[in-house]
Amino acid sequence: MNKSRLLAGAALLLGCLALHRPVFATGRAECLSAPSKILGHPVAYCVLLPPSYEAGKTRRYPILYLLHGLGDNEQMLIHSGGFNLVEDLWERHQLGDLLIVTPDGGSSFYINSRDGQRRYEDFFLREFLPQIEKRYRTQAGRASRGIAGISMGGYGALHLAFRHPELFASLGAHSAALLEKLPTIIVSDSRQLARSRILADVFGSPLDPVFWKHNDPLAIARTASLAGLQIYFDCGSEDDFGFDAGAVALDKLLGSRHIPHEFHLYPGSHNWIYVAEHLPALLQFHFRAFESASRQGNSSQ
């Protein structure tokens, strides 16, 4: 996600929210780090705690893992004004109480790198999820766990949920970094060269087409068993990186497999203005999924 556009969007979002914010905040953001033997260093994260979290010490909550885009970090909701947006939803009773966790993913695409040096997917599944769900009062099991992401984080969320659908009840993505084929790098384009270096750290140099396909959410979705996974994704129709074409391709693929999902192609480009406009819908989708899974679980008991 372009950093200047991100900051401009964040400034606009904060300005808009300032007109509606009450005097007192209702939730709380806690930013810490999780140790990792797999990565060899701690990983920073932030968690947004709903207003009721401090009031009762026995209540447990569903949890949503929200993955940031390229060039951002674990504080994406805090510096963008997204935390204020979430608080506003809570205060207006437009969003139920849940925990929202944003880990720092660097430029990993949330997968294990081609050279094996950065095993982010292993860290996330084997270390991060267990640590977070032990530290905070979360409801146990798949029915109360969701994953979502923005841009690179959207790629990561789709990849993780499609490969491990037994772990998540719900999946969401804004402007996911989906490409229908391996990108071609034009040497004379300095921006593409910069992106190529980032991609090379993850997907190999030169880009390994076999490894790319193995991790590509579009490829995984062709055969993955996705029964019971509630899926939402959207993208701007003028996405700066052409990710709208990838989103449309995913919509058609899931449709051809008769896999229920919700997809929207909205007007907009690849920035925080677009994300801020549609983030409430994504969060509400996840909470409805948690409520639905809870009702189904109760009725089967």
Looking only at the bridges linking them, the beta strands covering 28-34 and 145-150 are unpaired
Tokens of 58: 């026995």
Determine the pLDDT at residue 180: 83
CA atoms within 13 A on the CB side of 177: 26
Whether the pLDDT of residue 137 is over 50: the answer is yes
The CATH number that applies at residue 193 is 3.40.50.1820
Q: The whole model's pTM is what?
A: 0.89
pLDDT in tens, 84-135: 999 999 999 999 999 999 999 999 999 999 999 999 999 999 999 999 999 9
CA atoms of 292 and 12, how far apart (whole Å)? 35
Nearest CA-CA partner of 127 in 98, 109, 103: 103
| Range scoring the smallest mean pLDDT among 52-61, 70-79, 147-156, 221-230 | 52-61
Total number of domains constituting the chain:
1
Beta strands 43-49 and 28-34 are antiparallel
What is the Cα–Cα distance from 173 to 158, expressed in whole angstroms? 7
Phi-psi domain of 264 (left: phi exceeds 0; alpha: psi -120 through 50; beta: other):
beta
Largest CA distance in the chain: 62
Q: Which domain holds residue 64?
A: 3-299
Write down the mean pLDDT value for the chain: 88
Residue 9 has pLDDT above 70, yes or no: no
Helices (H), 100-241: 120-122, 129-135, 152-163, 190-203, 209-215, 217-221
With a cut of 50, say whether residue 51 has pLDDT above it.
yes
pLDDT in tens, 252-268: 999 999 999 999 999 99
pLDDT digits 0-9 by tens, 152-209: 999 999 999 999 999 999 999 999 999 988 776 554 555 555 567 788 899 998 889 9
How many Å is the Cα radius of gyration of the chain? 18
Structure letter (DSSP) for residue 109: T
Q: Could you give the percent of the chain with pLDDT greater than 90?
A: 77
